[in-house]
Amino acid sequence: MNANLSEMDTRLLKLATRKLLDAFSSLQEAAQVCRVKPTNLSQYQSFEKTAFMPIDVIVALERAAGTAPLTKELNRIHEATEQSIGDRSVRDEALDVPVAVGELLAFICEATGDNSPAGARLSENEKRRYFELRHQVEQELRELDEAVEKDGTLKRHAE
């Protein structure tokens, strides 16, 4: 993980990279409109790799694709950085929960798909990733609980 980005931001950037590359019929087609090879493009979207796409490559691919998922995600990260966590509303925190859950579900679907190395079963690496993503969902729910308690309009019931 990149020390300057949260694990969630890193994963969301990787997902945005996949979305951008999915706008092309293949990585070879995408490589024809930018300066990098298909193998590099594959690494930029891989959760297993720490490398991110260079800015000039993002610009070239987003222009060619007619969509800007990476630029939008980078903007979201920038805006979130400017906003103090203590100032986040219940609504802001609530909107983070489905993103974390969606990422967990997307991972499960990918990890248990027919093309997954371990097939329908999770490998040890996939199990670790599952628990990382599950922890992120729990963290988002805790942050929502804190926002609800701080807001005062809703009270948390004892468990």
Closest C-alpha among 56, 21, 67 to residue 41? 21
Indicate the residue type of 156.
R
CA 9/CA 58 separation, integer angstroms: 17
pLDDT of residue 1: 45
Q: Indicate if the pLDDT at residue 150 is higher than 60.
A: yes
- 117 vs 1, residue with greater confidence: 117
- Quote the CATH superfamily of domain 7-76: lambda repressor-like DNA-binding domains (1.10.260.40)
pTM, two decimal places: 0.53
* Torsion region of 113: left, alpha or beta (phi above 0 gives left; psi -120 to 50 gives alpha): beta
Q: Indicate if the pLDDT at residue 158 is higher than 60.
A: no
In this structure, is the dihedral angle defined by the CA atoms of residues 120, 130, 79 and 54, taken in order, positive or negative?
A: negative
Per-residue pLDDT of 70-117, as tens digits, reads 999 998 888 776 554 556 778 888 888 888 899 989 888 888 887 767
